[in-house]
Structure 1
Amino acid sequence: SHEMSKKQTEAILGDLVNLVTKHLKKGDRIRIGGLGILVVRKRAARMGRNPATGEPIQIKASKKVAFRPAKELKEAV
């Protein structure tokens, strides 16, 4: 078995998060084998409701990160 310290693991995962963020900002689609696909999707502006008052409000267009799990991951769970 390959042992890594918590500090090493956190450093590697931190680097991974930074790389994923950088590529998503550029509009890239990221495929991680056995895990799934990360992609940025644009959400159009839309009408919503203020949950406290019930009044209609305009929600601005935005971007969201979408994740689609790999077939292997879905079958394993």
Structure 2
Amino acid sequence: MNKTELINAIAAECDLSKVAAQRALDSFVNNVIKAVAAGDSVQLVGFGTFASGERSARTGRNPRTGEEITIAAAKTVKFSAGQSFKDAINK
């Protein structure tokens, strides 16, 4: 399912216009991004938790030349699925 299909599904299920469904989805995504970027986590009971993490610097290899390169440390995004989500997937 892509974003357009999700917007259509939200609009149909919630009896909203597609424009209103898109605004709601965009607002949700933007607010999750802001919260996680600020170092907070977003916990949606039954769905899951979005949080930030850190990946330390490490040494890698250039696959073409075999030369060692340093891969910089980076912040990452983690999603941990909630129990209800996991149960729905495993039925």
Q: Percent identity?
A: 38
Work out the CA distance in 2 between the residues paired with 1:53 and 1:6.
50
Structure with the larger strand share: 1
How far does the alpha carbon of each residue in 1:19-40 deviate from its partner, in whole angstroms, 9 at most, with x for none? 1111111110110122100110
- Who is 1:68 aligned against? 80
Distance 1:6 1:33 in 2: 26
Q: TM-score, normalised by structure 2?
A: 0.77
Q: Which runs of 5+ in 1 are unaligned?
A: none
CA distance in 2, matches of 1:2, 1:16: 15
Name stretches of at least 5 consecutive residues in structure 2 with no aligned partner. Answer: 1-12
The answer for the alignment partner of 2:46 in structure 1 is 34
Compute the RMSD of aligned alpha carbons: 1.3
After TM superposition, what 4+ stretches of structure 1 lie above 3 angstroms from structure 2?
Answer: none
Q: Give 1 or 2: higher helix fraction.
A: 2
TM-aligned CA deviation for residue 51 of structure 1: 2.1
For residue 80 of structure 2, give the secondary structure of its aligned residue in structure 1.
Answer: strand
Structure of greater relative contact order (alpha carbons < 8 Å, 6+ residues apart): 1
Aligned length: 77
